[in-house]
Amino acid sequence: MALSELHLALIGAGTAGVLIVWGYNVWQDRKHRREADRIFNGSREDALGPGAAETRDEAAHAPPPVEELRQEPTLSGEADPAPAGEDEQADAAAAHDVARVLDESGGGDEVLADCGDAVADCIVHFNAGSPLAAPLVFSSQRSWIGDIGKPVTWYARVGDGGAWLALTPASETSHLEWAAGLQLVDRRGAASLAEISRFCEGVAALAQQSGATVEELPDLDETVARAAALDQFCAGVDIQFVLHVVDASGGTFAGTKLRGLAEAGGMVLEADGIFRSRDAAGGEEFTLASLGAERLDADMLRALNTHGVTFSIDVPRVSDGKEAFERMLGVARQLAAGIGGVLVDAQRAPLADAMIAAIRAKILELQQQMRDGGIDPGSPRALRLFS
């Protein structure tokens, strides 16, 4: 018997319904897999759920060979060792030159053992025929510095073989030996071929205009590849973990009470409206901010009633991640007890011990990866690369 149009329509509708249910189940399965990967496989989202700010590109990258990142800043062409007596005289003379230069420049220039960072920077050296003044250098870079989206630092050597100085636009000293460093990576990604090329061309042009001699320009393709590899490595360890404390009844609590509890936990309200806990060296351990968009300044706190607060630990920028996490967890629990609140994840579910253990283990894993790659967590190098 031939099927009527009604029968055919009913069969089609039933088939479509089955496909929709099957598709929904597949979507749910993939969603849960993504959530698991987000926590345990190196995603840079909030490891407790969606909602935290991204720090680098969405794609996860495998780290490059560790050896590629196990370099320390060095200077080529080291002189043969001098006799002990000459070494002492040279050290004394260099110290005197540094003190004199800093006194003349107002003490604003940072004294360094080396110039730049062979891991984080692209470095170009040049030697001037006669002393080159710092104001001239900073004035000359204006024609090209705006084309580069990464920090550029100028360095100059004090005297003949003395210490290096990291100069600022306020510097007024003159030097024969110079270097410029382009930071290759930050949280926006790697420097591009166009940026690296513009930097090298700009430094070379400046040197030529001042009668200086450039030692050797870096190979562009090699530098671009090095920047990409470093960015991949950094992306793989760039995670911030957050914990939330909310009122247990779903209500609000007063900002004045929040401030008292935060300060009792050793946190300080800083100029940007965020409470911070810092280690003995002044490095950031973790932060505390309002769960909403409110800025936590002294005036706002007097009138603030908030539904919750967010604790955050920026793993690459903390020197001892495990210790900082334990401190953050302790302060968060004290604050929750003080306001009658509860410690929750991004979906407002109470934070389970299993999740806390997973976060703790992940922090240890990530920071060890950084050390193996030549980037100590919380070090000056890490603070630059994860800025």
**Where does a domain end: 234, 267, 295?**
234
Query: Which distant-in-sequence residues (6+ apart) come within 8 Å of 191 by Cβ?
Result: 122, 148, 149, 150, 182, 183, 184, 185, 199, 224, 227
> What is the pLDDT tens value at each position of the chain, 387 positions in all?
444 554 444 445 444 443 443 444 434 444 434 443 443 343 343 444 433 333 454 433 333 332 233 222 222 223 333 344 544 444 444 444 444 444 444 446 788 778 899 999 999 999 998 999 999 999 999 999 999 999 999 999 998 888 999 999 999 999 999 999 999 999 999 999 999 999 999 999 999 998 999 989 999 999 999 999 999 999 999 999 999 999 888 777 777 788 889 999 999 999 888 999 999 999 999 999 888 777 777 777 777 777 789 999 999 999 999 999 999 999 999 999 998 899 998 778 899 999 999 999 999 999 999 999 999 999 999 999 999
Residues 138 and 277 in one domain: no
Q: How far is CA 359 from CA 48, 85, 225, 348, 373, in A?
A: 9, 55, 32, 17, 21
Q: pTM score > 0.75 for this model?
A: no
| 372 close to 107: Cβ distance less than 8 angstroms | no
Residues 136 and 258 in one domain: no
Q: Provide the domain limits for residue 205.
A: 73-234
Angle value at C-alpha 348, between 49 and 269, nearest 5 degrees: 85
Residues 247 and 230 in one domain: no
Tell me whether residue 29 is in a domain: no
Domain count, the chain: 2
**Where does a domain end: 234, 249, 278?**
234
